[in-house]
């Protein structure tokens, strides 16, 4: 495959536009990681330094911390065609699919599958509420012990948490 020819990025923008084109469908991994670091306050003011032009940069220790967080994200699992893969493997598989498409071995390519699971802040709070709930607290709001156990098991998973509307109302966060 010729890396100096791209689909989205022009040759004059960079020497290897194809590499940048392959990054685009997975840019969300970096974006959502930055957003979650901000939401979860993983970095503070001491983790940054100001450049002469007033641009903020991460200090080397903070960069190492951020790279570890990114590494965890790339090593998280996703189901693709019935099997569990890490995102770094998905990127490799999608690159191979693109090569087959360019060579005419397949008629179409789909970069929307697998789709990422992106938990929103409300769902995180909902899961935290479930995980922090004691048996006696659950009993007071009308949730049985075995239901609480199943809720906690599902709240630990990285996929979306679905509950019956009655249970959701009992667990509502104001």
Q: Indicate if the pLDDT at residue 80 is higher than 70.
A: yes
Question: Would you state the pLDDT for residue 36?
Answer: 82
pLDDT tens for 19-68 read 888 888 888 888 888 888 887 889 999 999 999 999 999 999 999 999 99
Least confident range of 80-84, 103-107, 111-115: 111-115
Instruction: Give residue limits of the domains in the chain.
Output: 17-102, 121-170
Q: How far apart are CA 149 and CA 135, in angstroms?
A: 9
Q: Indicate if the pLDDT at residue 123 is higher than 90.
A: no
SS3 78: strand
Maximal C-alpha separation, the chain: 66
Q: How far apart are CA 174 and CA 139, in angstroms?
A: 19
Architecture of the domain defined by 17-102? Up-down Bundle (1.20)
State the angle between helix axes of 60-74 and 27-39 in degrees (0 to 180), rounded to the nearest 10: 120
Beta carbons of 45 and 58 less than 8 angstroms apart? no
Question: Would you state the pLDDT for residue 174?
Answer: 45
**What is the pTM (predicted TM-score) of this model?**
0.59
């Amino acid at each position: 495959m010729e890396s100096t020819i791209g689909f989205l990025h022009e040759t004059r923008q960079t020497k290897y536009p194809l590499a940048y084109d392959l990054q685009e469908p997975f840019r969300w991994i970096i974006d959502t990681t930055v957003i979650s670091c901000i939401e979860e306050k993983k970095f503070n003011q001491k983790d940054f330094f100001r450049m002469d032009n007033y641009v903020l940069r991460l200090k080397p220790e903070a960069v190492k911390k951020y790279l570890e967080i990114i590494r965890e994200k790339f090593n998280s699992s996703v189901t693709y065609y019935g099997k569990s893969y890490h995102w770094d493997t998905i990127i490799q598989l999608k690159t191979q699919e693109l090569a087959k498409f360019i060579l005419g071995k397949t008629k179409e390519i789909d970069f929307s599958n697998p789709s990422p699971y992106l938990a929103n802040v409300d769902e995180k709070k909902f899961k935290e509420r479930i995980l922090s709930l004691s048996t006696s607290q659950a009993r007071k709001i009308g949730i049985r012990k075995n239901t609480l156990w199943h809720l906690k098991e599902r709240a630990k998973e990285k996929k979306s948490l679905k509950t019956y509307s009655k249970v959701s109302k009992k667990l509502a966060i104001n």
